[in-house]
Amino acid sequence: MRRHRPARPWPFLAALLLVALLVAAGCGRKTPPVPPETVLPTPVSDLRYRLDEQGVTLIWTAPRTTVQGEKLAAIDGFELLRAVEKEGEHCDGCPIPFGSPIKVSGDNVSPGDQVHYTEAVLRPGYRYSYKVRTKLGWYYASAASNIVSFTWNTLIKPATAVTAEAGDSRVTLHWQPPASHIDGAPLAKPLRYQIFRSVAGAELMPLGAPITDTTYQDLEVVNGKRYFYKIQALNDDAVGMMSEAADARPLDLTPPAPPQEVTAVQTDGGVKVLWAGVNESDLAGYRIYRRRADQTKPQLLGSTGADRLSFLDTHSTRGADRWYYAVTAFDQAEPANESPLSKEAELVVGQND
């Protein structure tokens, strides 16, 4: 008797078809799989903080590249990790008890941007530690940044009587120190002062390291720009409130050197005055003066640009047989600084000229 094979169920046939397709697909060329961690952003390395009466502001730079050096097209967001410990209970070298991540939006943040995050509710007598990770999508996050830590205590009163005195390529600051904390408690430890500066109304940035003096000379300024300053007192126990702002606009007060080798020559068109050029980076031009022998103060005849080294005096020279010409140089400052008069050039003319 002939035995009939039972019909194969359709799931079995579908499985065979799937295996065939996978084998066929395996004939193509494969590239090595890319581990997800190799496309993650580089860790933030410049996490820092600023304390003031508003609390703490954390600042960092959004990564520009992945760990493989590829440029990032966008930032999805950040995770901020925070630890809060009662002062005195933290031990150096012990693990920091970071809590659950705090989500920080990446909206309107591009690679390379400065990111700011402020926390206003801080408890006096507690130590705060922070680190940050950059998010890629909803799942992956970069390695953690550097860690910053500080202890929050009752604020110190602000410095007072802050003044900014403008000079030539410098601004000199003076202020009076605070006398106590904002709750009236005396200051137990010596004060230092952090100076903050803004250029033309931009963001206030710390200027160097804290100092102990109550005066400071800022030499890293450009004449003509306006600078704004605030002072923050601090010591080993606490930080202070920001002072009122003081501003100054340093000015160029140094005139150019006077021109040399001034001569005056009679021509058919008038008296031609010539001189040697002045080598000054901010030179704007020259002014030409004339006087009679019986005059002590010369009269301004006109001016030229910095590229002109001669001037034609078409004014009449009648009424005297002897004239004296001098030239000054002036710079681009507002108002301009003018050099002293050059050595005069003498011109003898005829009575009927």
**What φ, ψ does residue 336 adopt, rounded to 5°?**
-70, 145
pLDDT band at 334 (very low <50, low <70, confident <90, very high): confident
Mean pLDDT of 227-239: 94
Three-class SS state of 79? strand
pLDDT of residue 35: 57
CATH 2.60.40.10 fits 260-348, yes or no: yes
Given a cut of 60, is residue 29 above it in pLDDT? no
Given a cut of 70, is residue 4 above it in pLDDT? no
Q: What is the mean pLDDT of the chain?
A: 88
Given a cut of 90, is residue 82 above it in pLDDT? yes
pLDDT of residue 47: 97
User: Above pLDDT 70, what percent of the chain?
Assistant: 88
Given a cut of 80, is residue 213 above it in pLDDT? yes
Altogether, the residues listed in the chain come to a count of 353
Q: Look at 238 and 17; give whichever has higher pLDDT.
A: 238
Topology match between the domains 38-152 and 260-348: yes
pLDDT band at 350 (very low <50, low <70, confident <90, very high): low
Q: Look at 122 and 13; give whichever has higher pLDDT.
A: 122
pLDDT tens digits, one per residue of 197-210: 999 888 899 999 99
Mean pLDDT of 67-92: 90
Specify whether the backbone of 21 is left (phi greater than 0), alpha (psi in -120 to 50) or beta: alpha
pLDDT tens digits, one per residue of 87-146: 888 788 889 999 999 999 999 999 999 999 999 989 988 999 999 999 987 778 899 999
Cα 290-319-275 angle, rounded to 5 deg: 25
Given a cut of 80, is residue 319 above it in pLDDT? no
Given a cut of 70, is residue 10 above it in pLDDT? no
Write out the two tokens for 216: 């400071």
pLDDT of residue 36: 58
Give the DSSP letter string of 251-272.
Answer: ---PPPPPPEEEEEEEETTEEE
pLDDT band at 27 (very low <50, low <70, confident <90, very high): very low
Q: Which CATH superfamily is domain 38-152 in?
A: Immunoglobulins (2.60.40.10)
User: What pTM was estimated for this model as a whole?
Assistant: 0.64
At the topology level of CATH, where does 160-248 sit? Answer: Immunoglobulin-like (2.60.40)
Given a cut of 70, is residue 321 above it in pLDDT? yes
pLDDT of residue 236: 87
Mean pLDDT of 165-172: 95
Domain ranges of the chain: 38-152, 160-248, 260-348
Given a cut of 90, is residue 28 above it in pLDDT? no
Distance in angstroms (rounded) separating the CA atoms of residues 340 and 328: 6
Strand partners, 248: 227
Task: State which amino acid sits at residue 224.
Answer: G
Nearest in space to 186 (alpha carbons), one of 238, 244, 123: 238
Cα 273-277-279 angle, rounded to 5 deg: 160
pLDDT band at 5 (very low <50, low <70, confident <90, very high): very low
Mean pLDDT of 44-64: 93
Task: State which amino acid sits at residue 116.
Answer: H
